[in-house]
Amino acid sequence: MQSGLAKKNKWLLEFYTDNEKLNPLMGWETSSDTLSEVKLEFLSKDAAINYAKKNNIDYDLIEPKKRKIVKKSYADNFTK
């Protein structure tokens, strides 16, 4: 499986919800709080932090993990 790099430079702001419940019919997680559905994208980390501070939103910053890129060739499938 290969992961793409399309949205690697975007920062995402998601809201915490306290009233998560299980849907009795399907067993999925559900919430009556509509903020759980809101996801805001920012072009930079500073823009996301400034937005949260300006609107008095408590936030936790999760830095992205560094990717370890291993270059492979199709021929490597047959050489060992």
Domain range for 24 is 11-77
**Residue 40: inside a domain, yes or no?**
yes
Per-residue model confidence as pLDDT tens digits over 13-62:
888 777 777 777 887 877 777 777 788 999 999 999 999 999 998 888 88
**Residue 60: inside a domain, yes or no?**
yes
d(C-alpha 69, C-alpha 77), whole Å: 17
**Residue 59: inside a domain, yes or no?**
yes
**Residue 1: inside a domain, yes or no?**
no
**Residue 6: inside a domain, yes or no?**
no
If one compares 63 and 53, the residue with the highest pLDDT of the two is: 53
Global pTM reads: 0.61
**Residue 3: inside a domain, yes or no?**
no
- Res. 71 pLDDT band, cuts 50 70 90: confident
d(C-alpha 62, C-alpha 60), whole Å: 6
**Residue 2: inside a domain, yes or no?**
no
| Residue 42 near residue 51, CB atoms below 8 Å | yes
- Res. 1 pLDDT band, cuts 50 70 90: low
pLDDT for position 12: 87
pLDDT for position 49: 93
Q: Name the one residue in this structure whose structure tokens are 């559900």.
A: 30
**Residue 4: inside a domain, yes or no?**
no
Give the number of domains in the chain: 1
d(C-alpha 75, C-alpha 80), whole Å: 10
